[in-house]
Structure 1
Amino acid sequence: MSDTQTLIENRPPSVANLFLERVVKTPDAEAYRYPVPAASGTGPDEWKSLTWGGTAERVFAIAAGLVDLGLRAEDRVALMSATRVEWILTDLAILCAGAATTTVYPQTNAEEAAFIVADSASKVLIAENAEQLAKARTQRAALPELDHVVLIDAAGHQADPGDPEGWILTLAELEARGAALLEREPGVVKDRVAAITADQLATLIYTSGTTGRPKGVRLPHDNWSYMAKAIAATGLIGADDVQYLWLPLAHVFGKVLTSGQIELGHVTAVDGRIDKIIENLPVVQPTYMAAVPRIFEKVYNGVAAKARAGGPAKYKIFQWAAGVSREYARTSQDSFRRTGRADVPFGLRSKHKVADALVYSKLRDAFGGRLRACISGSAALSPEIGFFFAGAGVHILEGYGLTESSAASFVNPGEAYRTGTVGKPLPGTEVRIAEDGEVMLRGPGIMQGYHGLPEKTAEVLESDGWLHTGDIGELSEDGYLRITDRKKDLIKTSGGKYVAPAEVEGLFKAVCPYVSNIVVHGADRNFCTALIALDEPAILGWAAETGLEGKSYGEVLAAPETNALVQGYVTELNQGLQRWQTVKKFRLLPRDLDVEHGDLTPSLKLKRPAVEREFKHLLDEMYTGAREA
């Protein structure tokens, strides 16, 4: 047995144990950075720090406060907040108290939030602000087991005479209660940590799903302890790294990153405001960050649009540099696969050097200048976009996992990464491909099951521990996994041909710099069509150069010039597809797809059934009277 395997198999029962070990090892080292708005109300944010020792003080106080509220082992605490340092502090405190965190996205509406809090039987809700508190107030009749609401940010909060006495307290008040308990019983939190067992519930994450009520995925303490050790064992991250963490922590992808950081002890800068990413990156100067493909698509489209706005010559340089970047990445990755060295011919190296000075270096500077790698997950990244960034020196390591597998089941192995694959399994995780192509997983990261839904659990979790992922994939001879599509999303046309819509959609995103989202449709139809949403800033920038300046977004979408522009990109897409995959017709959507309208999950995954229902009239219009094969 290898030293790595021994370390993973001899892991402690919980991340709470790992946290205590980390605090003892490096109490004075920096743990977290977080932004605080300028005192004047204008100007850039001020970034502050917490050491591991300072983090422990706050975590212990919050944990003791929860104990003082009467929480026992495995009692649930719902956490409804955007990504911020207090999310991490309160989650760690819940774990250290031996309780379990129920994660709730702050975008969740009041009715669904109440369902999650009630279904999980959460006794305490930690709400970010008055807006989140209002959801609990309006649904209080549906939450008979909710004893307390803890308010992280009390700004704008007003007392309500209808609130039960003692129902609401601020996070500061909870910490004060905890500090008082710690004075009376100094060992209360450490005793709770010592009592945690590996199979004890740590986290309930409700899958957003595309239909019906969300299901609560039960993840015990051992899942996170395993993840922490397995992430460290990949060697991708070290103690000297600086992570920029903006992903939703209510999602398993964001949550798992907190475990790896505790094991390794590096710095994490925390700010969940998506509109601040571009501003924050040069300030934080991260060495690694995780993101979903939509972020890389937006960066790519933004760079392309900026180049086009600079005039024909500048845009031509960008297009040339993008082609060089992709060729360079493909050549170097292919060389590494064959020889273990990333050799590139002299002529291509020379072109790459020129393109680097003109384009790539500016792109790396926009990411802070120190970025060693990005981790991409949650959905498929278009290989063409991946190769572009790889050749530009922004290395995107795609990974794969589910909420049901604690997120990190596969990741690309550093220098040996292969764009278009999700890499190799983490140490301790097994994989096999079923006869129908479905990816099956087994290992210490797999969930206990769905909360209160044994029948649903039995549908995906075999008695011998194998999890049905619902994804179709292929394994290379040397263990790299490529996900081709969701099993349920595969399109079978009326002619009996199968089409993987995600593959076609990814190719279009690499071809068209103006697309924001695309939905390929064709199940039981005789040809494929597409619903296309255009990126508003990018298409308005194009419109200003083509005689449509001053027009609204809606007017630009309705212009025949815009339709002709997109048709050109659809034609280009079709040239690289099999006949039955080609998009015969398309319609431009009147708005972008988003979380608020229910088109995307909070982790920005496409809800195909929801989009197809809302825009059914456009789909029907494309097939009415159609006879194309």
Structure 2
Amino acid sequence: MTAQASKTTDASFVDHLTQNFALQFLDRVAASGPHEAFRYPRGETWESVTWTQAGEIVHRLAAGLLSLGIQPEQRVGIASGTRYEWILADLAVMCAGGATTTVYPTTNAEDTTYILGDSECHVVFAEDDDQLAKLTANKGELPHVSKVITFDGKADGDWIIGMDALAELGDAYLAEHPGIVEETARAIPADQLATLIYTSGTTGRPKGVRLLHRSWVYEGTAIQVQDILDESDLQFLWLPMAHSFGKVLLSAQLACGFATAIDGRVDKIVDNLGVVKPTFMGAAPRIFEKAYARIVTMQAAEGGAKEKIFKRAFEVGIKVDELQRDGKSVPLLLKVQHALFDRLVFSKVRERFGGRVRFFISGSAALNPEIGAWFHAAGILILEGYGMTENAAGATVNHPDDYKMGTVGPALPGAEVKIGENDEVMLRGPHVMAGYHNLPEETAATLTEDGWLHTGDKGSLDADGFLTITGRIKDLFKTSGGKYVAPPALESKFKAICPYVSQFLVFGNERNFVSALITLDPDSMAGWAEENGMVGASYTDIVRSDAVEKMVGEYVDELNGKLNRWETVKKWKILDHDLTIESGELTPSMKVKRNVVESNYQDVIDSFYS
């Protein structure tokens, strides 16, 4: 097939992408100095920082890194959750000409040591004592690390220092070398290494993805030229900054100039939205699934007239939405009903998210179309995008004024998408990685000689260039009867049916039927327990109860009624715990490591077929 480029925007800007990420930040500081750049929680309140203030801090920290001897492309690690200091550290590394190596705070000590060692990090930012413990325990295996800077941990004044101490080193260095940060930033070529992000693979060691300055500048500029966001917007950012999706949102901020409220605590997302009142937010589908489940189960618990009104509101809302998206007129009675339900129901749903959201951006995994339609009926637009670490996260995205639900949108301006052999999605453009760190054979297997990136995802392009992802090629399996099954499609359907589910994983490769492992969401099940006489019972006792078994069985039956005969789930089991990042069964971006789960529960899966 021929490559499909974005049809909506002139992509000539790509020819002028000579700027680096450090200059993009310094130019933004100059352009937007007195305006708000960031806000972050401090105790029970939020503290605001202007672009000028952020620029001054980054200036001092970058000079501090230069005083420690950081050279062009030398790696500087950041082992921390998402917070304001993460942003400062990353921008300082960029302005000092180094390359940020990201480490999730949940990464175990062994993998942390491997990542910092494989990347040959010379300096590491460590969030707190937990992260410091991983470094000190394996100091002998980190010969290149000359200094550790901690955000909140205990400094020893020698190998480990605090952020203030780094800034003081910067002050002294600037006194002797005025203008050094600007000089360093201007000397960085667009094709210099900016970031090493280690992918959390399901098997084997993580692979370091080498992303250049041009990749991040391109990502932000490609969003800016589409007029999706501007200085009047306010972002709420909770996504892991160690993940490429988070870094894309930072690059978009530098290009567009909006302010960002930062708090990486996942359990605070809904509360924070009500306080911050953002105009947009990026998130993984799991966040929308949890919000949907929480709202639906809360209304079910109300019962009576309120529940009936709620259900009827969404019946009307979804019907009106379908008519409008099909370009059909909405009957007068339906319009009147919709206006009433918008005041009684939909406005309250929107208020839970702050009341000002123009759109959400969903990425890192597929969003269930029915859940997307449910939010849309309430007046909340979720724009799906697509990409991977190997292409700096952003490859395609729907536009607020031009979107197709169920697709991940067209290619970003200046980038290309095509469908290769076996319906594999292929990407090409300024965002594509330079390769895997120290892995030439893997790089050659992933990148073609003419610059196309093999994604491993299966998809299709429509006549307008909108991409639809149908799953991972390696996840597709064939039953012993010769029928193909696409697990993501079944799993997504179940999540739209059952509001209590957390994960639903189907198996059956070379087996005579499909089976499933199920985990239930702890928050949703706590609410269920209150309504079903099990208050105070442990999560394990709740999910093992006959009542829950019966309830889940009814949802499985409902799912099977929507499937082809060979796809139906014949046997299933509820696990006595949810999958977590800490257990290694979820990636930090909340995607399931299917191979790990299958290996951990192989005996359970085998028992289905014995």
Structure 1 residues 278 and 2: CA distance shift in structure 2, 3 A? closer
Specify whether residues 248 and 343 from structure 1 end up closer, same or farther in structure 2 by C-alpha distance, changes over 3 A only: farther
State which of 556, 568, 591 in structure 2 corresponds to 1:582. 568
Contact 2:155/2:162 (<8 A) preserved: no
Amino acid of the residue matched to residue 364 of structure 1? Answer: R
Matches within 5 A, 1:163-562: 166-335=158-327, 343-562=329-548
Q: Name the counterpart of 1:59.
A: 58
Q: Specify whether residues 184 and 4 from structure 1 end up closer, same or farther in structure 2 by C-alpha distance, changes over 3 A only.
A: farther
**Partner residue in 2 for 1:132:** 131
Asked if the contact 2:418/2:425 (under 8 Å) is kept, the reply is: yes
Letter in 1 for 2:119: S
The Cα of 1:621 is off from its aligned counterpart by 1.9
Given the alignment of the two structures, is residue 152 of structure 1 paired with residue 136 of structure 2, yes or no? no
Mark the CA change 1:347 to 1:529 in structure 2 (over 3 Å): closer, same or farther. farther
Q: How far apart, in 2, do the equivalents of 1:499 and 1:490 lie?
A: 6
Q: Which runs of 5+ in 2 are unaligned?
A: 1-6
Q: Map Cα deviations across residues 409-453 of structure 1 (whole Å, 9 max, x no partner).
A: 110011222221101110011011013110000000000000000
Amino acid of the residue matched to residue 28 of structure 1?
P
Distance in 2 of aligned mates of 1:169 and 1:559: 52
- 1:18, CA displacement in angstroms? 1.2
Query: Which residue of structure 2 lines up, in the alignment, with residue 120 of structure 1?
Result: 119
Q: Distance in 1 between matches of 2:40 and 2:172?
A: 27
In structure 1, how many angstroms separate the alpha carbons of the residues matched to 2:9 and 2:155? 56
Deviation at 1:550, TM superposition (A): 4.3
Counterpart contact for 2:12–2:414, Cα < 8 Å? no
Q: Say which is worse superposed, 414-423 or 282-291, in terms of deviation.
A: 414-423
Q: Shift of residue 2 of structure 1?
A: 10
Counterparts of 2:415 and 2:386, CA distance in 1:
12
Counterpart amino acid of residue 169 in structure 2: R
Pick closer, same or farther for the CA change 1:440–1:345 going to 2, 3 Å: farther
Farther-moved stretch of structure 1 (57-66 vs 542-551): 542-551
| Equivalent residue letter for 2:282 | A
Report if the CA contact (8 A) 1:126-1:149 is conserved: yes
**Is 1:32–2:38 an aligned residue pair?**
yes
Assess if the C-alpha contact under 8 Å between 2:76 and 2:122 holds in 1: yes
Retained in 2: the 8 A contact 1:12–1:18? Answer: no
Identical aligned pairs, as a percentage? 50
Contact residue 18 and residue 189 of structure 2 kept, 8 A: no
| Aligned-partner Cα distance in 1 for 2:331–2:219 | 40
Q: Which residue in 1 is equivalent to 2:14?
A: 8
The 1-side partners of 2:600 and 2:586 are apart by 13
Distance 1:191 1:158 in 2: 31
> Which residue identity lines up with residue 81 of structure 1 in the other structure?
S
Whole-angstrom distance in 1 between the partners of 2:29 and 2:533: 62
Task: For 1:586 and 1:318, locate their aligned partners in 2 and report how far apart those are by CA, in whole Å.
Answer: 31
The 1:322–1:618 alpha-carbon spacing in structure 2 relative to 1, beyond 3 Å, is farther
Distance 2:522 2:164 in 1: 42
One-letter amino acid of the counterpart of residue 76, structure 2 = V
Distance 1:312 1:560, change over 3 A: farther
Deviation at 1:328, TM superposition (A): 3.0
The answer on whether the counterparts of 1:79 and 1:103 sit within 8 Å (CA) in structure 2 is yes
Q: Deviations over 1:294-337 (max 9, x none)?
A: 000000110011111112443333333333333333332232xx
Greater shift in the superposed pair: 63-72 or 493-502: 493-502
Q: Distance in 1 between matches of 2:441 and 2:197?
A: 18
Q: Label 1:140 to 1:358 Cα distance change in 2 as closer, same or farther (>3 A).
A: same
| Aligned pairs, number | 604
Contact 1:291–1:377 (Cα < 8 Å) also in 2: yes
Letter matched to residue 182 of structure 1: L
Residues 386-417 of structure 1: CA distance to partner in whole angstroms, max 9, x if unpaired? 00001111100000000001111110011222
Residue number in structure 1 paired with 2:4: none
- Select between 201-210 and 14-23 the one with higher mean Cα deviation: 14-23
**Which deviates more from structure 2 when the two are superposed, residues 591-600 or residues 575-584?**
575-584
Q: Is the 8 A contact 2:9 2:225 kept in 1?
A: no
CA deviation digits over 1:324-383, x for unaligned, max 9?
333333332232xxxxxx853434333322322232111110111100000000000100
Q: Would you say the 8 A contact 1:329–1:388 is kept in 2?
A: no
Aligned to 1:42: none
The residue aligned with 1:48 is: 47
Looking at structure 2, the residues matched to 344 and 188 of structure 1 have their Cα atoms a distance apart, in angstroms, of 63
How far off is 1:281 after superposition? 1.0
TM-score, normalised with respect to structure 1: 0.94
User: Is 1:65–1:178's contact at 8 Å kept on the other side of the alignment?
Assistant: yes
Q: Secondary structure at the match of 1:239?
A: coil
Change (3 A) 1:89 1:575: same
| Partner AA of 2:400 in structure 1 | G
**1:61-76 correspondence runs (5 A):** 61-76=60-75
Instruction: Return the offset for 1:30.
Output: 1.0
Cα distance between partner residues in 2 of 1:343 and 1:2: 27
- The answer for the alignment partner of 1:609 in structure 2 is 595
Distance (Å, rounded) in 2 between the aligned partners of 1:232 and 1:344: 35
Letter in 2 for 1:571: D
- Distance of 1:547 and 1:153 partners within structure 2: 43
Q: Which runs of 5+ in 1 are unaligned?
A: 38-44, 160-164, 336-341, 625-629
RMSD: 1.6
* 1:528 to partner: Cα distance: 0.7
CA deviation digits over 1:141-182, x for unaligned, max 9? 11111111011113xx264xxxxx821111110011101211
Retained in 1: the 8 A contact 2:9–2:413?
Answer: no
The equivalent residue for 1:162 is none
Greater length-normalized contact order (CA 8 Å, ≥ 6 residues apart): 2
Residue 21 (structure 1) aligned with residue 13 (structure 2): no
- Paired with 1:151 and 1:211, the residues of 2 have a C-alpha distance of 31
Q: SS at 1:474's partner residue?
A: strand
**DSSP-derived class of the 2:11 partner:** helix
Q: 1:526 & 1:326 partners in 2: Cα distance?
A: 38
Letter of the 2:360 counterpart? C
Partner of 1:619: 605
CA contact (8 A) 1:400 1:411 kept: yes
Q: In 2, Cα distance between the equivalents of 1:273 and 1:333? A: 36
For 1:418 and 1:564, the matched residues in 2 are separated by: 37
